[in-house]
Structure 1
Amino acid sequence: MSWQIKQNLNFYTEEFQPPKLPHELRLIITSAAIHVAAMVVIALGLMLFWFWQGEELKYAQQQQKFLEQKIVEVQALRPPLVVDARLAEQRDLARRQLEGGQKVLRYLTQQQLEEGQSFTQLVSQLGDQNVKGVWLNQFSISDQGRHIGLQGYVDDPAKISKYVSTLVEKSAYQRRAFRYIDVQKEVDKQWLRFQLDTRGHPQDLLSSAADSGVRK
């Protein structure tokens, strides 16, 4: 009997190994396992969060009940609030007086604003006058803008007419007439002094004022 090896077999070759899963199937199984593990972790996290939120809500409710009880105890110790009828009447009276004063103040402010706007237009258009040889050194606006007085100097009396005609063409000076015009020669000076007024001669104004005083 011979002990020589008749045949040599290698059981570690692929032929004798169990069949392997395809690469694509292994990737699918691995991905599914990862997703399942992630969902389990998320579910555990949500459960812990809900549990913590529930405990916080219980603690907040307990604190609210405690504070409400303390408020009730403090209110029970304090005497009831009673409004003094006399003080309430004084408060209402002061409130009515304040509202009345505010109405008067708004009315006066509106009146002053409207008058100030009209004066602004008169002054601005007066400044737009540009007649060479005419200089203003004083002007007055009275009776809420209905009367205007101008004083200044001119080197030629004929320029007064041009100055007045261009002035009354402006919107703020329309339907206005200068009833008093006075031009006088200054001593030892080359220019003339002029005065314009919508109310008439100053002496006439004094006479009318005196007559009205006598009638009273």
Structure 2
Amino acid sequence: MSGRLVYLMGPSGSGKDSLIDAARDALAQLDCVVARRVITRSAESVGEAVQGLTPLAFAELAREGGFALSWRANGLDYGIPVQIDQWLAQGLHVLVNGSRAHLSLAKERYPQLLPILLSVDPDVLRERLHRRGRESREEIEARLARNTLFAGGAVEDESGGIFLLDNSAELSTTLARLLALLGNEGIVEKPRSA
């Protein structure tokens, strides 16, 4: 039996990385592996634990078939290692930090994927982006403007099978909701033999 791809999306600063980190132990109990993204950004950057590659090294890895999924956003290249295909074939579930703009292509490759859109109140998002310190005030405001467009499709997303998960409150609340959603979708702890 093959595993299921859990495709977590959300605007920059919505708390995807924090949620993933908080969920790691619980996900392991569900036989759900977190895939580490490859990004053309320095691994020393604040935030997500990623594998940072130069644009040239990223392009070479892509040419060699090293990515199951890849896309370009905000001037950076992102890739999900092809190793996820092996994990899925072994019956493990895999959570990836994905791109909403790339969702349709991801669904073509993984028709059973579980799309989850993490949202956050604009004022909370602004504060998080400021605290993160990666962008200027102008860049943050531009991100917030893009997020308004991003969030505008929320009703359409629900009708299109995308699960919405609000991360405006405490992280523990969002984590509990994520685990409940996964359980409702059949991603549950498997009985262990004695």
Q: Compare the two structures and name the one with the higher strand fraction.
A: 2
| Structure having the higher Rg | 1
TM-score range, shorter chain: under 0.3
- Relative to the length of structure 1, the TM-score reads 0.18
- More helix as a share of residues: 1
Ranked by relative contact order (alpha carbons within 8 Å, sequence separation 6 or more), the top structure is: 2
TM-score (norm 2): 0.20
